[in-house]
Structure 1
Amino acid sequence: MSNNILKPENIVLNKELNNKEEAIRYVGGILNEQGYVSPEYIDEMIKREEITSTFMGNYVAIPHGTEDAKKAVHETGISVVTVPGGVDFGDGNIVKLLIGIAGKGDEHLEILSQIAIVCSEEENIQKIIDAETKEEVISMFSEVN
């Protein structure tokens, strides 16, 4: 994963978030602040969540925009937020690792596959949740080829 897609500024560790919408707006806000997306992308992330949950299991959610959101994406990027205390995504699904994605064209598909590889191992997810430095998080994703 290139350094431009996931950089230290895109990562927030040990955040407390009260609910699903706050969590999605927070990860979307990082993408917006770092110049990957326009503010309207965040609303599309909320719409996507209403259509189908982005909860993936193993404490992971991957909020992203709808197809309509593509025009709000300036460049491909991801944001990573750890919530060790957990945030309720509904139906008893607790999320401790939020990965916000903005993909230009089909670039997000490659990112999703890399994230899927990392998150397929529960111990990797726990390492990210427990990470004390942003570099630890970046190294977890950069090891994927």
Structure 2
Amino acid sequence: MPVLTQDRVIVDSPITEKDEAIREAGRALVAAGAVTDSYVDAMFAREKNLSTYMGNFLAIPHGTNEAKDEVLDSALVFIRTAQPIDWGGNEVRFVVGIAGKDGGHLEILSKIALIFSEEDEVEKLLAAPDAAAVYELLGSVNEE
């Protein structure tokens, strides 16, 4: 089963605050059946201890190691915001909620990091007209 499906790609989200973004990403992971409600609390706990800002307008909120039992399945949620969010002094336009079953989050994280390490790819993601186009650009996250 793919970790990212097109219905979990949200473009031009009206979210304007970091906490709101983490909550929205967590809600989407719960709705996908990937995590329990408790995992969302662990996402906030992780953020309090260590910023999940990654550079290139990207933040990847995820739960703490203690919350791994709250992960039911691997999944990814991709949110592109209409306006930049202040993420601890950094500008974020992409919020990627992530849950990895049995340590799968590290592989998923590395695939996202590869995409976002290329400024051309980030520009394409910013310019993509709709969720289908963004999903197409992110296709490599589903490859085995």
Question: Normalised by the size of structure 2, how large is the TM-score?
Answer: 0.92
The one-letter code matched in structure 1 to 2:46 is: R
Q: Are 1:47 and 1:66, in contact at CA under 8 Å, matched by a contact in 2?
A: yes
Q: Are 2:15 and 2:21, in contact at CA under 8 Å, matched by a contact in 1?
A: yes
Gaps of 5+ in 2: none
Could you give the per-residue CA deviations for residues 69-126 of structure 1, whole angstroms, max 9, x where no partner exists? 1111110000000013111111x20100111100101111111111111000112112
Q: Are 1:61 and 1:98, in contact at CA under 8 Å, matched by a contact in 2?
A: yes
1:130 aligns with 2:127: yes
Q: Are 1:97 and 1:125, in contact at CA under 8 Å, matched by a contact in 2?
A: no
Q: Are 1:62 and 1:101, in contact at CA under 8 Å, matched by a contact in 2?
A: yes
1:115 aligns with 2:112: yes
> How far, CA to CA, are the matches of 1:67 and 1:142 in structure 2?
27
Query: Which residue of 1 is the match for residue 67 of structure 2?
Result: 69
Gaps of 5+ in 1: none
Query: Which residue of 2 is the match for residue 9 of structure 1?
Result: 7
Q: Are 1:62 and 1:100, in contact at CA under 8 Å, matched by a contact in 2?
A: yes
1:84 aligns with 2:82: yes
The one-letter code matched in structure 2 to 1:21 is: D
| Secondary structure at 2:34 match in 1 | coil
| Secondary structure at 2:27 match in 1 | helix
Identity of aligned residues (%): 38
Note the C-alpha offset of 1:68.
Answer: 1.2
| Secondary structure at 1:132 match in 2 | coil
Note the C-alpha offset of 1:49.
Answer: 0.3
